[in-house]
Amino acid sequence: MVVGIMIFHETKLKGAFIIKPEKKEDERGFFARTFSQDEFLAHGLNATIVQSDISHIRTKGTFRGMHFQAPPFEEDKIVSCYQGAILDFIVDLRSESPTFKEWIKNELSSENGHSIYIPKSFAHGFYTLSDNTQVCYLMTQYHRPEHAWGFRFDDPAFDISVPDKIANLSEKDRSYPDLYLLPS
């Protein structure tokens, strides 16, 4: 069987990529590559994965985020949805970037197979579009709870909106301060 390649599309936020698998289909189903160190390096992306995590969310309408790791433990991450579907949000927190504080959203699902490469100094969050959703994270830095930060998805500095009512939001995510109030 011929192995497929990955198709990289840079977003309007420099360094953030939507990655689509090239599926090779036959009567059994399909086969697709979801990670290749060589292909990531060829696009100038960090391919040193040190940790992989999975998040299982039971309820449609759950929001997780907006999360990031503070210096010196910033991380690049690759986020994929292996079961169900999410509306994925990233915010550029690089103060020197021309897209500072801009955000994008993309649908990631088990059906479309898309992933997103999120560079260091970006915040990340998602809204579940279906029950029993599973999200996988590949990270280039070990998680350090003492350096985990966030801000509320409804921070007035942004106009992040979700397609329906939020059914579930953790107390931690609900109580994050506005971005400008975070320690530097």
Please tell me the distance from the alpha carbon of residue 77 to that of residue 103, in angstroms, as a whole number: 16
Q: Which residues contact 176 (CB under 8 A, 6 or more apart)?
A: 66, 150, 151, 152
Backbone angles phi, psi at 38, to 5 degrees: -60, -45
Paired strand residues for 52: 138
Q: Enter the DSSP assignment of 166.
A: -
The structure tokens listed for 165 are 């009512």
Residue from 43, 67, 143, 147 carrying the catalytic annotation: 67
Q: Which residues contact 113 (CB under 8 A, 6 or more apart)?
A: 20, 21, 23, 32, 34, 80
Q: Are 73 and 147 in contact (CB under 8 A)?
A: yes
Residue from 117, 127, 137, 176 carrying the catalytic annotation: 137
Q: Catalytic: 137?
A: yes
Strands 133-139 and 77-83 turn out to be: antiparallel
Q: Catalytic: 143?
A: no
Catalytically annotated residues: 67, 137
